[in-house]
Structure formats: C-alpha cells, structure tokens
A and B are shown apart, each in its own frame.
Chain A
C-alpha cells in the first residue's frame, strides 16, 4: 500500500503558553517550542504500522517554510520512507482550500492508495483532509480511530463519534482519512534515530513544480482571512485563590465543603 501522510509543524501548545503579541498581528513566536502536530504524529505511526503489515511505502509531506523540514525528518526517523517538502512564497496566506489544493497536486503526481491527515491542527479547523478528498473525488472519513486493511481495494475504518462510541465503515481505496489521537501509541524518536536520517535528501517543491497558481492558492485566492489575534474577556472568570499554600488549601476546603465536595 502506498500511503501519503500530511504533516504540519506547529507550536507545541502543551509545552508553551501561547500569547498574543502587543500589536495583535500574531502570537509571540520567540522562544516557542515547535513540534509535529499531535494528530499528524498518530497518522504517521498508523501509516508505518500498516506498511509493516501489508508492505508498500510511507511518504510524509509538509507545506511550510524551511523549518518544516525538521518535522519531515523527525517523521522519517520514526520510519517513514520518503519526505516531500512543499515550500514557496506564493503559498503564504492560503486558506484551507488553498492548502488542500497544494496537497492535491502532490497526490496527482504520485500513486497513493491511502492519504492520511490529522483530525485538526493548531488552528482547530479540521478542514484540509475533507477538502482534499472532495477535490480528488475520493471517499473520506474523519476522526478515524481504527483502520483494518481488508484487501488491496477496501479498508474497514472506525470513526470516533459521541459518547465514546465508534462508527464502523467500509471504504474503497483510494481514500482520504483524518486520524484521531489515541488510534495507536506513536513510537518514541530518539536523537539517534534523527541522526540516522540527517543526511537524507528531502526534495523541495514549489508552485511551479506542482502546477498550482495564484488563482487557486495564496492570499489572493483565499476567501477566509485571519485579521488579528486577541484574548477575549469572558465574563468574570474564576475567583482566584491567593496566599500561601496553607491558606489556599484552607480556603479551598471550606468552599468544597459548602458546595458538597466531600462525602
């Protein structure tokens, strides 16, 4: 099975406090720790496990500036066979549809049976996978938490729905799936693993190589545009308990007692 996994380099929100810069044009990018989008890491692990079971190859693709290479390399250290780095100034300012259009061009140049994305990335959109499928006219399933390869033409997938229930579907290949966290346990990548792939050449492709232009990608084509970042004032917020730990604990116990917090 030939598998393509789309991965994005994002600020790691479990490692950073994300703050808005003073002018509200961006988040504070200095000193941010970046990593591969959490959902994408599960997608790569799943692809590797499928390949190890049924054969084939795993290709990782990322759209981003020069730093995106670092996450492609990390996922190759996990075990992906190939990496493709898509980088071009004209990609900047694309909306979800623009990114899906760029990724479609990569799919068109390959021969993939299965295309995986993460369920969502740092901006919480959850859009690229579904759009990519629609552009390709491939079937799509989102929030996938189980994949079972039936044969070369069909797979069985579980989708996570409400209440912890799972919706089972059979899907014809080629198809696009968005992967939900928890589908597997992504393997650890150590420094040694990264070193092993340090010298592998990762080709860079631009708009010209992909045959995409400003009528479908970039800021000019984008229908959805971010204007600013801000931190909303939502109601009063919590009453913050302050003082020494003993004082806080004492106050908290009092409150918990009053609200029925003990049996």
Chain B
C-alpha cells in the first residue's frame, strides 16, 4: 500500500483546473488510507493563491516556486519533480495535453510504471493495482493491472472521478522549491516561446443554443451541404468533430472538444460522431443530446439522451424536409 499518493495540480492565471478536485477521489479509489499530497508548481503570488486554495482540499500541499515556471514547460518540470519526489512514488496527473507531455517521460525518469488514461480503479492487491481503461476511442474497455511497488505515474481521465467539494481539509503548504532547483533548472534543450491564439471563425459556436454537429460519418465533403441544410431548417449552427477539421472541410473554430471549443448549447445533435472523450469533453452544461449513428454500438449512445440508428446521409435530409413542412 502506498503511504502517500501525489496529485499534480493544473492551474492557469491563478485558477485551479477542474481536475484538481477530482484527483483526490482518484487517489482515494486507489487506497483510502494513503495521504494525498497536492503538488503545485508555478511562480509568485498566483502560485501562492493556488496553494492556499488547494490546502482546502488536500491535507498537504507541496509548492515549487520558480521564475522558470511562469509558463510551465514539461521538460523543465519533469526534472524538478524527479528531485522532490520520494523513492517509488505514486503520482497522479490529469490525462490532457500537459499530462501527456509530462507523464510518460516522468515514469521513465522515476523508473516507475506508467498507466495512462484511467477511468476507474478496482482495487489494489499485493502491489498490483487494477484499473479500467478504454481502447479504440471508447468502443471497448479493458481491465489492466499495474505493478506499483516501484512507483507509478498514472494519468487520470478528466471528468472520470467526481470532484471533492468538502473543502475542509485545512491542509498545510510546504515549500519544496529549494530541493527542486538544487542543481539548476533542467530541460534547457526545449525552450518555450509563446502561445499562438486560436483563429476565430465566422460563427462563435460557444454562444449557440442549438448545434448540429457533424463527424467522420458524413464520409464526404460534398455531403456537408445536408448538414447545413438541416441546421438552417432548425435555426441552428454547425459544429463538428476533429476529423472534419483535420480534413480541412470546416474551420478549426467549429471544432467541439478538448482541443477545440467548449460549447454550452441547449440541444446538441451529434451526427456521425462516435463519442470519444476528447469530443464529449467540449460539451458542458448538460444539453439534450441526440445522437444519430449507423452503428448501434457507438459509444455516443451511452451518453446521449436520445438515439437514432441511421445513415446520416439519408436521415438528415428526411429530417430537414419534415422540419420544413412543420413551418
């Protein structure tokens, strides 16, 4: 049993990420007895505010404060973490773009196991942690075991664990900066330059009440017309999943998901979208979700309110016509 479990806290502009309160429940699911330590890196007053905030959820907060962490570069942070973490640590990191940058290499540098993108834990026995993962963008799940006796870096899917809202931990903040930077700032062979902001498109889907969203199931660029026709008949805007943007059929500003836009519509019509977590992660506010997909087993049907098994190329025009008739 690990005595301690470490939770890496994401934050931005002084705001704590939603995953920060989820990791403590993930840690509890691994081992209810372990004490959970929040690890917070950054710089200055903003960092202090985040640490104070985290002390409401975690009994212990480790702070790493350095000018080299104003914008956190995973190559730098990895080297610092290796210095402060104890032998054989169990470390939880959110499975998103930063966690994916940091974690696989961190496991190697710690000589610990690496267990990516966990959605649930099912017990720890004799050093073997049993976890649930998904494969083939959520079409099947697997049980995996991970030997954590020599430590483990585990990435946790955002949203998979409930956030802890008790906020009565009354934790203490320990400054680990000296240990972390003893030996200098590592990772100089990758240098952060700047953030290039996303381009804005002709529609702002983050403001739309009704979205007709199209995925790879549309099969052909020419078929997009039927999606726009349907959206027009409904007074809706058109959004899409990532493959449609990758193919350059629609502009990036229309992409819903963790690497695209976060939308909060009342109604979301997912057409030919399988329902990967990166896509669904961009849909907030619990809209009424209708999924239309030709595969009755598509994962989207598990999260949608209403489902239709149909070929969208045939079904969407029928729907648009019928809506036209009602007017």
Give me the interface of A with B, judged by CB distance under 8 Å.
11, 13-14, 17-20, 27, 95-97, 100, 119, 122-131, 133-135, 139-143, 156, 158-172, 175, 178, 180-182, 185, 223-232, 234-235, 237-241, 245-246, 248-250, 252-253, 255-256, 259-263
Interface centre among B136, B191, B295, B309 (most CB of A within 10 A): B136
Which of B133, B136, B253, B310 is close to A245, meaning CB atoms less than 8 Å apart? B310
Known interface pairs A131-B107, A234-B302, A239-B307; A170-B191 also in contact (CB < 8 Å): yes
Q: Which residues of B contact A230 (CB under 8 A)?
A: 140-143
**For the complex, what is the distance from the CA of A185 to the CA of B243, rounded to whole Å?**
11
Q: Which residues of B contact A124 (CB under 8 A)?
A: 116-117, 133-137
Check if B195 sits within 8 Å of A185, measured CB to CB. no
Check if A164 sits within 8 Å of B255, measured CB to CB. yes
Which of A139, A228, A249 is close to B190, meaning CB atoms less than 8 Å apart? A139
Check: B125 CB closer than 8 A to any chain A CB: no
Check if A253 sits within 8 Å of B114, measured CB to CB. no
**For the complex, what is the distance from the CA of A134 to the CA of B152, rounded to whole Å?**
15
Which of B104, B132, B248 is close to A130, meaning CB atoms less than 8 Å apart? B104
Mostly, the A contact residues are mixed
Known interface pairs A172-B189, A241-B307; A253-B326 also in contact (CB < 8 Å): yes
**For the complex, what is the distance from the CA of A127 to the CA of B194, rounded to whole Å?**
25
**For the complex, what is the distance from the CA of A239 to the CA of B113, rounded to whole Å?**
41
Number of interface residues of B (CB under 8 A): 97
Closest chain A residue, CB of each to CB of B260: A164
- New A-B pairs, 4, CB < 8 Å, besides A161-B259, A167-B195: A96-B114, A130-B104, A238-B302, A260-B267
Interface residues in B109-140 (C-beta closer than 8 Å to A): 109, 113-117, 130, 132-137, 139-140
Check if A185 sits within 8 Å of B101, measured CB to CB. no
Q: List 29 A-B contacts (CB under 8 A).
A: A11-B136, A13-B274, A14-B243, A17-B297, A18-B136, A97-B113, A124-B117, A124-B135, A131-B105, A131-B107, A140-B190, A160-B97, A164-B253, A168-B192, A169-B192, A171-B191, A223-B113, A226-B144, A232-B141, A241-B307, A245-B315, A248-B308, A249-B318, A250-B322, A252-B306, A252-B308, A255-B290, A262-B235, A263-B235
**What are the nearest 7 A-B pairs in CB distance?**
A263-B235, A130-B104, A164-B198, A238-B307, A134-B108, A134-B105, A223-B113
**For the complex, what is the distance from the CA of A218 to the CA of B209, rounded to whole Å?**
52
Check if A142 sits within 8 Å of B147, measured CB to CB. no
Type the 1/0 row for B136-168, where 1 means its CB is closer than 8 Å to any CB of A: 110111111111001010000000000000000
Type the 1/0 row for B286-319, where 1 means its CB is closer than 8 Å to any CB of A: 0011110001110001111111111000010011
Closest chain B residue, CB of each to CB of A184: B246
Check if A241 sits within 8 Å of B308, measured CB to CB. yes
Check: B53 CB closer than 8 A to any chain A CB: no
Q: Which residues of B contact A229 (CB under 8 A)?
A: 135, 140-142
Check if B104 sits within 8 Å of A126, measured CB to CB. yes
Check: B83 CB closer than 8 A to any chain A CB: no
Q: Which residues of A contact B262 (CB under 8 A)?
A: 163
Check: B75 CB closer than 8 A to any chain A CB: yes
Closest chain B residue, CB of each to CB of A140: B105
Check if B146 sits within 8 Å of A130, measured CB to CB. no
Query: Smallest Cβ distance from A38 to chain B, in angstroms?
Result: 9
Interface centre among A140, A166, A181, A223 (most CB of B within 10 A): A223
**For the complex, what is the distance from the CA of A181 to the CA of B191, rounded to whole Å?**
23
Q: Which residues of A contact B322 (CB under 8 A)?
A: 246, 249-250, 253
Check: B187 CB closer than 8 A to any chain A CB: yes
Q: Which residues of B contact A161 (CB under 8 A)?
A: 97-98, 195, 259
Q: Which residues of B contact A168 (CB under 8 A)?
A: 192-196
Check if B306 sits within 8 Å of A27, measured CB to CB. no
Check if A96 sits within 8 Å of B196, measured CB to CB. no
Check: B84 CB closer than 8 A to any chain A CB: no
Check if B115 sits within 8 Å of A224, measured CB to CB. yes
Which of A134, A163, A245 is close to B104, meaning CB atoms less than 8 Å apart? A134
**For the complex, what is the distance from the CA of A239 to the CA of B303, rounded to whole Å?**
10
Check if B146 sits within 8 Å of A140, measured CB to CB. no
Check if A17 sits within 8 Å of B260, measured CB to CB. no
Closest chain B residue, CB of each to CB of A127: B104
Closest chain A residue, CB of each to CB of B320: A249
Known interface pairs A159-B97, A238-B302; A18-B139 also in contact (CB < 8 Å): yes
Query: Smallest Cβ distance from B264 to chain A, in angstroms?
Result: 13
Check if A131 sits within 8 Å of B114, measured CB to CB. yes
Which of B197, B261, B269, B307 is close to A240, meaning CB atoms less than 8 Å apart? B307
Closest chain A residue, CB of each to CB of B145: A225
Check if A141 sits within 8 Å of B101, measured CB to CB. yes
